[in-house]
Structure 1
Amino acid sequence: MKVLILSADLGGNVPPALAIADALARRGVEVEIAGLVPGSTELEHVPFLPGEAAGPQGQQGLRKTASMYRLFASKRVSAETETLMDARRPDVVLVDCMLIAPLRGALRTGFPVVVMFHTLGEFWSRIDRTVGRVLGLLGFRPHALWAKADERLMLTDADLDRADAGDFPDSIWTGTTEVGVEPSPRRARPRILVALSTTDWPGMLPVYRRIVTALSGLSVDAVVTTGGVDLGGPLAGAANVDVRGWAGHAELLPSMDLVIGHGGHSTTMKVLAHGVPLLVLPINPTSDQRLVGDAVERSGVGRVLPKSTRVSGLRSAVESMLGDGDLRERAATNGRRLRAAPAGAEAAAERIIAVGDARLRP
């Protein structure tokens, strides 16, 4: 069986796509990935729409807007997707839900199509009611195209998501593709991880600087990771605040007492799976970050604050959360629940293989 994955480097959508690809490969499935930057994975990379499918990472202004538009509503991109699929002849194609134009092309070919949703279903419902209406005038209404797929996989935690089957009929909540481990014993001096985003959203530098200033006045040890993003200026650390470009969050999280994040779904679910409390400062007002932050706060495992919060407010919130034993226990309990659940990537792989088997069956 061969599965073709259509994706783009849009940030938090990449980790779940790669997790599913690895799960499929472990089952002996031939996996091809189109749309990511070469070198993103050891699996076979298929050249596809280099100007659009590489995504807006590192692009600015009109160039970024044009790239996103082509991924959403370009008839040429739809046509080139049809050409790609006729050439690759997959048994199943897995399409990122944000790639509306490639999805439209994939559906036209007659090959089985599975759509993956990589954040809360509530967010996709909002997207369809807003941006989707405009795209619908061009023949690219998201919900109508999503509904035509053979399968819809919601790669998120159903307990965290306020969307339901009525919003996405016949959809499967696989659970998160992020995994965690049991936390290490707590140290006398609390440890904090700061990870805002791997996308260069405007205005991130002052947020980082306020966080560093707030943490420098506390009896904590902190690691600040910038994801290698060009912040537009220098970010200095402090005696107790280590600023790094890249760092493996999976290695750091087991020893952390608190994470300050931006509300990206992938990062958030990784933190929650480790059972660590989370303070969310949404960076991009047009993304899912505020919804994710609200869901974290609603579930009792963290808090959400505006990115404009002053140093004193950040310091107060951190002190309060570190001293809240009930919060810590709720986060730990939620982490154990997520770790005990079936792995989302494995569940997604099983559904994709089932769709392929149905096509191959005489």
Structure 2
Amino acid sequence: MSRYLFVVPPLVGHINPTLAVGAELARQGHDIAWAGDARFIHALGGSGLDIYDCVTMSLEDRGDLVGPAALKFLWEHFFIPLARAMAPDVTAAIEHFRPDVIIADQQALAGSLVADREGITWIPSATTSTELTDPLGSMPKVKDWVLGLLDELRDEIGAPATGHDPRFSPHGILAFTAPELSGTPAIAAERCWMVGPALADDGASAARSDFPWDFLDNDQRNILVSMGTVNGATGAAFLRKAAAAIGARPDRYRAVLVDPDGVIEDPPSNILIRKFVPQRALLPAMDAVICHAGHNTVCESLWNGLPLVTAPVRDDQPVVAQQVADAGAGVRLRFRRATEQHIAEALEAVLDPATGHQAAAARIGKSFREAGGAGRAADILAGLG
């Protein structure tokens, strides 16, 4: 049996897939551990996990930054300093745990860099397909700037002689998507295992939830509206417009709107406002999802065959939103310019069987389940140990 170390950033959507894969590896008899922010990992996976706590940092509020400015902020204020902060603790975890294979999230660069330095087999965990699409290919100056940052970081905490990009391993890449949504990878396609979403069992969390399930016992179409957990007040205006669009049609829609910052006041009677929801348990009761095109929400929605209305804000969201639209599984709106009418029309479109959005979402969901998920990922990793 082998030893596997997952290195993860303090981001829920990046930790969750590793919990499912780690559980499968443990069932096969392997030794599993995590390196990351113990508070996040314990909160999501329980107290029984072997965790090496790392100094991490939070993603700062970026206000209204979008496009290249948001990307620059993300690299300079999160990815690079996070790698520097985590590197000493990741090194200590490796020295103590002695892993045979390290699975490092593409946004937890310390995992790949330290593994490369120590000569340990390492596989990036791609919890979003964006990096595989070569998103900066049309912006050569920005791409060169990012590669320059990675060169400096490799010189500082990695193995300069290898020249390896820490986002792409010569041993392969584990991607939690499928070609039916993401298409063929533009980068490292020959080394990419696309296993579909790896969804951990969340039955226990759903059972503990105080969610008022009776709200969904109705004849209307049920809609989930969520702009994610890292967009903060930036998504407030869009949430208000979505609430108005749905509230104007009480005979047709009933919605659960996720509002962690309390931006919706006096909601219409057909809208339930919650700071947090048991999303995995909630989605099977939904008919459609309005969201920011976060990869986690998109994949969980499509897993359930739900068409989407997306309004991407920044980071990987525009890429994922376009993948949804190109696959026929939803309608993409412009986040800043979408009006109440645009949202209402998009919602009508994705719920109309004649448009094909529902059929496309069901097709992608089927492909996700056939891709193998956590079980296939565990088998792939077991072959490397």
Q: Say yes or no: TM over 0.5.
A: yes
Distance 1:67 1:33, change over 3 A: same
TM-score, reference length from structure 2: 0.78
Q: Quick one: which amino acid aligns to residue 10 of structure 2? A: D
Distance 1:220 1:143, change over 3 A: farther
- Equivalent position to 1:96, from 98, 105, 126: 105
Distance 1:348 1:280, change over 3 A: same
Distance, in Å, in 1 between the alignment partners of 2:130 and 2:74 is 29
- 2:225 paired with 1:194: yes
Distance, in Å, in 1 between the alignment partners of 2:164 and 2:308 is 32
The Cα of 1:198 is off from its aligned counterpart by 1.8
Distance 1:187 1:342, change over 3 A: farther
Partner of 1:167: 188
Distance, in Å, in 2 between the alignment partners of 1:118 and 1:235 is 34
- 2:343 paired with 1:310: no
Greater shift, 238-247 or 143-152, is seen at 143-152
Distance, in Å, in 1 between the alignment partners of 2:169 and 2:286 is 43
TM-score, reference length from structure 1: 0.83
For the 8 Å contact 1:122–1:161, the answer to whether it is kept is no
Paired residues for 1:114-133 under 5 Å = 114-122=123-131, 125-126=134-135, 129=143, 132-133=146-147
Per-residue Cα deviation, 1:229-258 (whole angstroms, up to 9, x for no partner): 336x45442100001122122222222111
Q: Quick one: which amino acid aligns to residue 256 of structure 2? A: V
> What secondary structure is seen at the aligned counterpart in 1 of 2:381?
helix
Q: Quick one: which amino acid aligns to residue 250 of structure 1? A: R
The Cα of 1:134 is off from its aligned counterpart by 3.0
Q: Quick one: which amino acid aligns to residue 109 of structure 2? A: I
Q: Quick one: which amino acid aligns to residue 71 of structure 1? A: L
Partner of 1:34: 35
- Equivalent position to 2:348, from 299, 302, 319: 319
> What secondary structure is seen at the aligned counterpart in 2 of 1:160?
helix
Distance, in Å, in 2 between the alignment partners of 1:319 and 1:191 is 13
Partner of 2:381: 352
Paired residues for 1:99-248 under 5 Å = 99-122=108-131, 125-126=134-135, 129=143, 132-140=146-154, 144-164=165-185, 167-178=188-199, 188-218=219-249, 219-226=252-259, 229-230=260-261, 233=263, 235-248=265-278
For the 8 Å contact 2:223–2:253, the answer to whether it is kept is yes
For the 8 Å contact 1:261–1:278, the answer to whether it is kept is yes
- 2:307 paired with 1:277: yes
Partner of 2:211: none
The Cα of 1:265 is off from its aligned counterpart by 0.8
Per-residue Cα deviation, 1:106-142 (whole angstroms, up to 9, x for no partner): 2111222222111115556236836532314414499
The Cα of 1:354 is off from its aligned counterpart by 1.1
Per-residue Cα deviation, 1:46-74 (whole angstroms, up to 9, x for no partner): 34332x2xx425x44699964433224x3
The Cα of 1:310 is off from its aligned counterpart by 1.2
The Cα of 1:160 is off from its aligned counterpart by 1.8
Distance, in Å, in 2 between the alignment partners of 1:238 and 1:65 is 41
Distance, in Å, in 1 between the alignment partners of 2:185 and 2:248 is 44
Partner of 1:49: 54
Distance, in Å, in 2 between the alignment partners of 1:333 and 1:298 is 14
> What secondary structure is seen at the aligned counterpart in 1 of 2:181?
coil
For the 8 Å contact 1:262–1:281, the answer to whether it is kept is yes
Distance, in Å, in 2 between the alignment partners of 1:18 and 1:344 is 12
The runs of 5 or more residues in structure 2 that have no matched partner are: 63-72, 138-142, 156-162, 202-216
The runs of 5 or more residues in structure 1 that have no matched partner are: 181-185, 357-362
Q: Quick one: which amino acid aligns to residue 171 of structure 1? A: C
Distance 1:236 1:92, change over 3 A: farther
The Cα of 1:20 is off from its aligned counterpart by 1.4
Distance 1:174 1:350, change over 3 A: same
Q: Quick one: which amino acid aligns to residue 5 of structure 1? A: F
> What secondary structure is seen at the aligned counterpart in 2 of 1:209?
helix
What's the C-alpha RMSD, in Å, of the aligned pairs?
A: 2.9
Partner of 2:15: 14
The Cα of 1:302 is off from its aligned counterpart by 0.6
For the 8 Å contact 2:130–2:319, the answer to whether it is kept is no
